[in-house]
Amino acid sequence: MKDKEELMVEKETARIEAFSDGVFAIAMTLLVLELRVPELGEAVVPSVLAAKLMAQWPVYIAFVISFFSIFIMWVNHHKLFKQIYRRNTGIMFANGLILFLVCCVSYPSSLLAGFYDTDSQQLVISIYTGMFVLVNLSYNLLWFLACRDRKLLRPGLTEAAILGIRNNYLYGLPTYIAAFILSFYFPVSALLICVLLWIYWAISSKKVLINR
């Protein structure tokens, strides 16, 4: 009977994971709609088309950055939910908040792509980095709520692993806030910090997997 119970527990978060995966997958895929085919007459010279395509470089960069930022969010979501076996209302809505922000990402990303090359560069970078402060807060909230009631977590999870995960996300917060503040003065550097943070996260994810 215990075994079956365990199986039921597993199932409790399985549907949340599957649903969340759907949202992550769609949010990532919808980003491609930002890449627009230039509207040109039929007699277009190839060199003009090539020039038009190249002039869209901020759109391409924003696409790549946003795709992989959502992807890394998914990897982290995946990792957190490997440790969460049961759910309560708090978990449901903290996860809802994460999904909401995942859906939003494409909008600041579009703004960034559309206005990076204009006088409004600083404004759109501030919005973009501000967005990721919220994303980080939502992940911290999810883990905070999951840790408050240890019955929600995977049975064998050690205290050290719980703290390790908490720190991994908590340490991101000041960096994101710093990037947000910096964005008002040195917007491009602020953006760079975010990208570096994602690369660090991608590599550090290895460590967390071993800690497991």
Q: Which residues in this chain contact a second copy in the complex, by CB under 8 A?
A: 15-19, 21-33, 35, 37, 40, 42-46, 49-50, 53, 64, 67-68, 71, 74-75, 78, 88-89, 92-93, 96, 99-100, 103-104, 106-107, 110-111, 114-115, 117-120, 122-124, 202-203, 205-206, 209
Complex with a second copy: residue 42 or 159, whichever CB lies closer: 42
> Which tokens is 111 given?
């703004």
If the CB atoms of residues 15 and 150 are measured against a second copy, the closer one turns out to be 15
* Residue 208, burial from CB neighbour count under 10 angstroms (0-12, 13-18, 19+): middle
C-beta closer to a second copy: residue 174 or 184:
184
Least distance to a second copy from the beta carbon of 109, Å?
A: 10
Closer to a second copy by Cβ: residue 160 or 203: 203
Nearest-angstrom CA–CA distance, 66 and 32: 10
Nearer to a second copy, 38 or 174 (CB): 38
Contact 172, 113 (CB under 8 A): no
DSSP H helices in the chain: 2-30, 46-55, 57-83, 89-104, 106-115, 121-148, 159-170, 172-182, 187-211
Residues 135 and 8: their CA atoms lie apart, in Å, by 30
Residues 172 and 180 sit within 8 Å (Cβ to Cβ)? no
Q: Which of 164, 166, 158 minimizes the C-alpha distance to 139?
A: 166
Give the position of tokens 């290895």. Answer: 206
25 vs 196 by CB, closer to a second copy:
25
CB of 117 vs a second copy, minimal distance in Å: 7
| DSSP letter, residue 149 | S
Task: Compute the least distance from the CB of residue 181 to a second copy, in Å.
Answer: 17
> What is the closest distance, in whole angstroms, from the C-beta atom of residue 163 to a second copy in the complex?
21
| Rounded least distance, CB 30 to a second copy, Å | 6
In the complex, minimum distance from the CB of residue 191 to a second copy, in angstroms, rounded to a whole number = 16
